[in-house]
Amino acid sequence: MTDSSTNMRLKLPITCFILEIILIILFGVLVEYDEDTDAKKFNKHFNTSMEHSDAENDFYYRYPSFQDVHVMIFIGFGFLMTFLQRYGFSSVGFNFLIAAFSLQWATLMQGFFHGMHGGKIHIGVESMINADFCTGSVLISFGAVLGKTSPVQLMIMAMFEVTLFSVNEFILLSILGTRDAGGSMTIHTFGAYFGLMVTRILYRPNLHKSKHRNGSVYHSDLFAMIGTIYLWMFWPSFNSAVTEHGDAQHRTAMNTYYSLAACTLSSYAMSSLTAHDGKLDMVHIQNAALAGGVAVGTAGEMMLTPFGSMIVGFLAGIISVLGFKYLSPILEEKLKIQDTCGVHNLHGMPGILGAIVGAVTASLATKEVYGNGLGRVFPDVADGREASYQGGIQAVSLAVTLGIALIGGLIVGFILKLPVFGAPHDTTCYEDSLYWEVPGEEAGHEEQLTAVKSEESDKLNS
């Protein structure tokens, strides 16, 4: 299964080495510890109020959330994609590779756009979370093209996507003043539509030749459930990781918790209802049950209430299962969008729902409800703007995000078509052995079968 065009012997090492060396040089030139990570800056008042300073280090507010997000990125996304029977090494392995690259590149790009202090990028736990967030967006796009791209293509895609993500994030958060702590727009909508456009451009008319590997086996579905459950459990940390300290983090986590719980029930209900024999479909459970987390990504930090969160989650689960069941086949047949993981159903539509919910919730914000906390959630509204203005900004942000994602995906898709990146053939998609030394599982199995057979023969004859 190896030929020169798909052989990664030189392509992958060169890509990795060049990118990493550039990263190291840029870090050396541009990056500095921030106030909370630098020994000198943090301890400048050391002798006067040490104890006080230590507990106030942002590390203690955000590091547990960071680690939960980190698990989502590397275990959650990585294992969610192991459902494919012969692509587990690539799913978790390429997830690992492109995430490790993206978080470094995102540190620079995001720092460049909104972390510069006197020509230097200042970093700490919050920038680490933001880098992981940006990485999440790349991994969503990875889900759309899963099984159909070489690791070099993925690295190139990640490089461009991180850049465009940062531009979009800068426009929304810094220029427009959008609120989007959990990234319904910046992460999910962006990552999904970018990836969908890329996979559209990379359309393979003969993908049916690899169709027999585009499915799960029993244990690969269990591995995927590890990914699902971790994403589900830690989504409250994801949405609350970079909100304001105190009530905002607390409220966001709680809203997300209830949205996900409601979403799970509606996902199970819809999965059973839409099957001709009432049997649950693992694809729905693995994905749709998470849509509730996406859909409160924007409004989670607002006074959405658990009641509101549950309604949103409930709807997200329904939409997502319907998407898998009825919309995805249409997208593939009519629009030629081959969306391996169904990211349109988990991140695309729920992301748009989340953006709309956020716009509506923002436009309903009042001093009455938020009290002195208004300025911590909606600084612009606290400064005198109308809440409806904030709602409008949120809606505009969705349009901007969709635009940048689709145009970006279009351009990057064409770049990825360049033959130099070594895309797999139509017959070798969803196949680990193209990129990995795969242990002789079947051979080994056969040997074992033989061994057992002779053992059993021995027993019978003894």
Smallest distance from the beta carbon of 69 to its own copies, in angstroms?
A: 10
In this structure, the strands spanning 31-33 and 116-117 are unpaired
Smaller CB distance to its own copies: residue 46 or 414?
Answer: 46
Smaller CB distance to its own copies: residue 128 or 412?
Answer: 128
Residues 198, 200, 204, CA angle at the centre, nearest 5°?
Answer: 110
SS3 call for 33: strand
- In sequence order, what DSSP letters do the residues of 121-166 get, joined into one string? EEESHHHHHHHHHHHHHHHHHHHHHTTSS-HHHHHHHHHHHHHHHH
Smallest distance from the beta carbon of 208 to its own copies, in angstroms?
A: 16
Return the closest-CA partner of residue 147 out of 341, 7, 379: 341
CB-based burial label for 447 (10 Å; 0-12, 13-18, 19+): exposed
Return the closest-CA partner of residue 107 out of 5, 201, 37: 37
- In sequence order, what DSSP letters do the residues of 75-90 get, joined into one string? IIHHHHGGGSTT-HHH
Smaller CB distance to its own copies: residue 379 or 406?
Answer: 379
Smallest distance from the beta carbon of 290 to its own copies, in angstroms?
A: 11
Smaller CB distance to its own copies: residue 214 or 394?
Answer: 214
| Exposed e or buried b per residue across 30-53, where buried means at least 16 C-beta atoms within 10 angstroms of its C-beta | bbbebebbeeeebeeeeeeeeeee
Smallest distance from the beta carbon of 330 to its own copies, in angstroms?
A: 21
Smallest distance from the beta carbon of 215 to its own copies, in angstroms?
A: 6
Smallest distance from the beta carbon of 188 to its own copies, in angstroms?
A: 21
Smaller CB distance to its own copies: residue 32 or 411?
Answer: 32
Smaller CB distance to its own copies: residue 248 or 352?
Answer: 248
Smaller CB distance to its own copies: residue 117 or 336?
Answer: 117
Smallest distance from the beta carbon of 462 to its own copies, in angstroms?
A: 16
Residues 215 and 341 sit within 8 Å (Cβ to Cβ): no
